[in-house]
Chains A and B, each alone.
Chain A
Amino acid sequence: MTLSAGEVAALPGVRNQGRGPGRPDRKRRTIAGDPRVWLYTIPVVLVFLFVFIGPLVYTVWTALHETTYYEIGEFSGLNSFVALFSDPSLPAQIGTTLVFSLGALVVALPAGLISAIVLNDLHRFKRTVRSLFLLPWLMSQAIAGTIWLWFLNPNYGPASYITTSLGWGPTDAFSSPTTALIAVTLITAWWSYPQAMLLFLGALQTIPEELRESLRMDGGGIWRGFVSITLPYLRNTIVSVVVVLLMLYVQMVTIILVTTRGGPLGATETLSMRVFNQTFVEFDLSGASATAILLFAVNTVLTLAAIRFRRKEAL
């Protein structure tokens, strides 16, 4: 039986390049004129404009004007930025931001990975252990900071009682610039590692079990399995976790505010704390806006640097 051209074109699955008779290409019709595309796009764009572009523009606007408390005054040009970059404490604050962010990352990333591996391989009491691992993430930053503030209290804290009993004297984590920075870094890492754990746990469950079985049959051990199978599969997830955590740490205010408020001697004053202090203590809205823009730039640079390590091809 011989079919006509039209009958061939009408057959299901037959592609038509649009040069002959028959129905137009379905994909081209969707892209060219489907009004539903706008229905899906406009709300998202509106929200993006409202919660990101709008505040960003307003922040830049505020930074370019004089402010008195929360009133915006005359145009002042780049005065706020000049004051920002000529502030002798700025390099130290940038340094503190980097030390704090990278320090917390160095702790939270492996802690999250190890926790995820343990949970992934656990067969008994999995839910209980998972709940315990998640506990820090379930409390707010303010509560987490307050708990540690009192745990490490040199006069009444349990930590001080333990160290005194061991003959080491009372703990005094927040009274020294160095120990205060270490303390807030570790507290932040402790509070945030469950987020890394959850992301890694999801990724670990996508690793084909056949690969591990194959490695076991070849005599490969745990370390070989981790290096040759787990890490390659987790590479993109590690990048994602680094990006997420870095953004969290660079913008961290609450834990530092509750524990040290940027002290002692400014040792824990990150750029975010500077923005807070300028806004709510010094009432310098213009200066705070300039600092916030610098913080945004720092965050963007760190994020782009991390994304460069993303694997482009799939395994």
Chain B
Amino acid sequence: MITKRWKIALGSVAAATLLLTACAPTDDSGGGGGDASADSGPVTLTYWDFLDPSQDNPRANALRENIAAFEEANPDISIDLSVVSLGDMISRLPQAAAAGQAPDVFKMFTPQVPQMAAAGAYTPLPEAALEVDDWLRPADTLAGPDGAQVAVPYEYRTCALYYNQKILDEIGATAPTTYDEVVDVATKAAAAEYTGFGTGFSDTDNSAIIATFFDCFMSQVGQDIWNEDGDVDYAGKKADEFGDFLADLRDANALGASVVSDSYSTVTDGLANGTVAMAVLGTERIVTFGTTNPDLKWTDLPAASTGDQNGATFGWTMGIGAGSKKVDAAWKFIEYMTGADAAEGLASGGEVPTRASSYDLPFFSTPDADVVNSIAEYVASNSEPHAYEDNWIAVATGLSQAGQALYLNGLSGSEFITAAQDAANK
């Protein structure tokens, strides 16, 4: 009996000791292993990316090959890649930064860069980064609250109108060129039991589809999303046009029956399998759709009432994590991945390289690069980057919630816009 009690007591002490040890502060070298004091000598960079290089698709293959090529060209730098979804990255990065555990390098979507910068997730870029001057689009909008640039563009995209040619032929329609025409074509497609226009009001994927579409539309009508004080302030006649468009689609039964819970992937799947007639998505899907469904075509954004078809330039960016002690090595990696050395791999994955020097490569003069070249030209001529405030997540979530109310409670277009703005400023 005494022996049993001693065993229990020793076990309790051991458990308590293990617990306290596990919770002890860890080395705060700022992510990654290797030499924590300087960039000299072998270093390992921790890198967060949403792409899984173990998967067999063009973008994942390109990422894997580019990382391998970088490590071969820089034998003293190894990359420790962690696959982290965008949603997880947004929630984990501020925590990691606060705990001194941010990765050395991470990707972030353009609209969320200022918010992550405000959350302290970035180390400001080194001087060498600021000397790069051949970005296809201005990169100084990728800044933190103090105006210091914190990220560089990794790939470019903007919005385009996708349509299923087979469905349009079936209903006797042509690719629409205005939003009113989109409603007409979508109505006909809905009558033929297709989803006339694909979008979604779910916020499970950070409201990706509706927020991206809204961003591009506001650029089209020349409406700033924020005022000088940084408050969300877009309600008005220009923004109402966006709400009216969605309301018209709803009234025509041209939205998906499950639009309230539909997300970006729902719509892309619907386009790929031929159940959705049209949608506004990013240009990053052009190459993929070309492979999965040859009936899918793309064209410029429909013209808004202003006659403008220019959307917003956005895409994935790369930056250096807060507290990283390997800034030089991190910038070396970022410069490689955004430069000419990785451009061919990037283009083969359907992503648009961001530096003009990349397009001097022989690859971009071959027929294999025709699609990427056309996308790059479209991005350059049909979009403009703009600055974002540090509350894009609230803007996006507000749009989702207002969209749900528009569909379920029958809000008008202007009520949708007001509700979305109020939710963002809550």
- Report the separation of the CA atoms of residues A261 and B12 in the bound assembly, to the nearest whole angstrom: 39
Of all chain B residues, the one with the shortest Cβ separation from A177 is B408
Asked if A47 and B15 make an inter-chain contact with CB atoms under 8 angstroms apart, the answer reads yes
Asked if B404 and A264 make an inter-chain contact with CB atoms under 8 angstroms apart, the answer reads yes
Asked if A47 and B257 make an inter-chain contact with CB atoms under 8 angstroms apart, the answer reads no
B86 within 8 A of A: no
Closest chain-A Cβ to B284's Cβ sits at a distance in Å of 22
Asked if B258 and A174 make an inter-chain contact with CB atoms under 8 angstroms apart, the answer reads yes
Could you say which of A40, A156, A170, A280 contacts B12, with CB atoms under 8 Å apart?
A40
A151 within 8 A of B: no
| Range, interface on chain A | 20 to 34
- Report the separation of the CA atoms of residues A27 and B16 in the bound assembly, to the nearest whole angstrom: 29
Question: B232-267, CB under 8 A of A: which get 1 and which 0?
Answer: 000000000000000000000000011111000010
By secondary structure, the A interface counts as loop
B199 within 8 A of A: no
Could you say which of B257, B275, B401 contacts A265, with CB atoms under 8 Å apart?
B401
Asked if B91 and A39 make an inter-chain contact with CB atoms under 8 angstroms apart, the answer reads no
Asked if A263 and B401 make an inter-chain contact with CB atoms under 8 angstroms apart, the answer reads yes
A3 within 8 A of B: no
Closest chain-A Cβ to B266's Cβ sits at a distance in Å of 7
- Report the separation of the CA atoms of residues A274 and B120 in the bound assembly, to the nearest whole angstrom: 24
CB under 8 Å from chain A, chain B span 73-100: 90-91, 94-95, 97-98
Of all chain B residues, the one with the shortest Cβ separation from A47 is B16
Known interface pairs A155-B270, A263-B202. Does A50 touch B20 (Cβ–Cβ under 8 Å)?
A: yes
A281 within 8 A of B: yes
Asked if B98 and A70 make an inter-chain contact with CB atoms under 8 angstroms apart, the answer reads yes
A69 within 8 A of B: yes
Asked if A43 and B20 make an inter-chain contact with CB atoms under 8 angstroms apart, the answer reads no
Asked if A175 and B261 make an inter-chain contact with CB atoms under 8 angstroms apart, the answer reads yes
Known interface pairs A36-B5, A263-B202. Does A155 touch B266 (Cβ–Cβ under 8 Å)?
A: yes
By secondary structure, the B interface counts as helix
The residue among B97, B203, B269, B409 with the most chain A CB atoms within 10 A of its own CB is B203
Closest chain-B Cβ to A259's Cβ sits at a distance in Å of 8
**Residues of chain B contacted by A261 (CB below 8 angstroms):** 202-204
B148 within 8 A of A: no
Asked if B15 and A43 make an inter-chain contact with CB atoms under 8 angstroms apart, the answer reads yes
Question: B382-426, CB under 8 A of A: which get 1 and which 0?
Answer: 000000000001100100110011001100000000000000000
Asked if A263 and B404 make an inter-chain contact with CB atoms under 8 angstroms apart, the answer reads yes
- Report the separation of the CA atoms of residues A35 and B200 in the bound assembly, to the nearest whole angstrom: 66
Could you say which of B202, B257, B260, B393 contacts A281, with CB atoms under 8 Å apart?
B393
Asked if A260 and B261 make an inter-chain contact with CB atoms under 8 angstroms apart, the answer reads yes
**Residues of chain A contacted by B6 (CB below 8 angstroms):** 36
- Report the separation of the CA atoms of residues A174 and B202 in the bound assembly, to the nearest whole angstrom: 10
Asked if B15 and A40 make an inter-chain contact with CB atoms under 8 angstroms apart, the answer reads no
B132 within 8 A of A: no
Asked if B260 and A263 make an inter-chain contact with CB atoms under 8 angstroms apart, the answer reads yes
B371 within 8 A of A: no
**Residues of chain B contacted by A263 (CB below 8 angstroms):** 202-203, 260-261, 400-401, 404
CB under 8 Å from chain A, chain B span 84-123: 90-91, 94-95, 97-98, 118-120
Could you say which of B9, B12, B269, B401 contacts A155, with CB atoms under 8 Å apart?
B269
Question: A42-85, CB under 8 A of B: which get 1 and which 0?
Answer: 01101100110000000000000000011100000000000000
B13 within 8 A of A: yes
B19 within 8 A of A: yes
- Report the separation of the CA atoms of residues A261 and B400 in the bound assembly, to the nearest whole angstrom: 12
Of all chain B residues, the one with the shortest Cβ separation from A50 is B19
**Residues of chain A contacted by B23 (CB below 8 angstroms):** 50
- Report the separation of the CA atoms of residues A180 and B261 in the bound assembly, to the nearest whole angstrom: 10
CB under 8 Å from chain A, chain B span 1-52: 5-6, 8-9, 12-13, 15-16, 19-20, 23
Asked if A70 and B404 make an inter-chain contact with CB atoms under 8 angstroms apart, the answer reads no
**Residues of chain B contacted by A47 (CB below 8 angstroms):** 15-16, 19
**Residues of chain B contacted by A40 (CB below 8 angstroms):** 5, 8-9, 12
- Report the separation of the CA atoms of residues A184 and B377 in the bound assembly, to the nearest whole angstrom: 46
Asked if B269 and A282 make an inter-chain contact with CB atoms under 8 angstroms apart, the answer reads no
**Residues of chain B contacted by A136 (CB below 8 angstroms):** none
Of all chain B residues, the one with the shortest Cβ separation from A259 is B204
Asked if B94 and A283 make an inter-chain contact with CB atoms under 8 angstroms apart, the answer reads yes
Asked if A175 and B94 make an inter-chain contact with CB atoms under 8 angstroms apart, the answer reads no
**Residues of chain A contacted by B5 (CB below 8 angstroms):** 36, 40
A154 within 8 A of B: yes
CB under 8 Å from chain B, chain A span 82-140: none
Known interface pairs A43-B12, A154-B258, A175-B257. Does A265 touch B404 (Cβ–Cβ under 8 Å)?
A: yes
A205 within 8 A of B: no
Asked if A69 and B405 make an inter-chain contact with CB atoms under 8 angstroms apart, the answer reads no
Of all chain A residues, the one with the shortest Cβ separation from B266 is A155
Asked if B19 and A264 make an inter-chain contact with CB atoms under 8 angstroms apart, the answer reads no
**Residues of chain A contacted by B15 (CB below 8 angstroms):** 43, 47
**Residues of chain B contacted by A39 (CB below 8 angstroms):** 9, 13
Closest chain-A Cβ to B92's Cβ sits at a distance in Å of 9
- Report the separation of the CA atoms of residues A172 and B203 in the bound assembly, to the nearest whole angstrom: 17
Question: A219-244, CB under 8 A of B: which get 1 and which 0?
Answer: 00000000000000000000000000
Asked if A264 and B261 make an inter-chain contact with CB atoms under 8 angstroms apart, the answer reads yes
Asked if B257 and A172 make an inter-chain contact with CB atoms under 8 angstroms apart, the answer reads yes
Could you say which of A43, A180, A280 contacts B16, with CB atoms under 8 Å apart?
A43
Asked if B258 and A175 make an inter-chain contact with CB atoms under 8 angstroms apart, the answer reads yes
A176 within 8 A of B: yes
- Report the separation of the CA atoms of residues A280 and B90 in the bound assembly, to the nearest whole angstrom: 8
- Report the separation of the CA atoms of residues A36 and B3 in the bound assembly, to the nearest whole angstrom: 12
Of all chain B residues, the one with the shortest Cβ separation from A38 is B9
**Residues of chain B contacted by A51 (CB below 8 angstroms):** 19
Asked if B258 and A264 make an inter-chain contact with CB atoms under 8 angstroms apart, the answer reads no
**Residues of chain A contacted by B119 (CB below 8 angstroms):** 69-70, 283
**Residues of chain A contacted by B270 (CB below 8 angstroms):** 155
**Residues of chain A contacted by B266 (CB below 8 angstroms):** 155
**Residues of chain B contacted by A177 (CB below 8 angstroms):** 408
Question: B270-292, CB under 8 A of A: which get 1 and which 0?
Answer: 10000100000000000000000
Lowest 9 CB-CB distances: which A-B pairs, in order? A43-B12, A70-B98, A280-B91, A43-B16, A175-B260, A174-B261, A69-B119, A154-B258, A264-B404
Would you give 10 A-B contacts (Cβ < 8 Å), ordered by A?
A: A43-B12, A69-B118, A69-B119, A69-B120, A170-B258, A174-B261, A175-B258, A175-B260, A263-B404, A281-B393
Q: A39-B9, A261-B202, A264-B260 are in contact. List 16 more A-B contacts (CB 8 A).
A: A47-B16, A69-B98, A69-B119, A69-B120, A154-B257, A155-B266, A155-B275, A172-B258, A172-B261, A174-B261, A175-B257, A176-B408, A260-B261, A261-B203, A263-B202, A266-B401
Interface residues of chain A, those whose CB is within 8 Å of chain B, are 36, 39-40, 43-44, 46-47, 50-51, 69-71, 154-156, 170, 172, 174-177, 180, 260-261, 263-266, 280-283
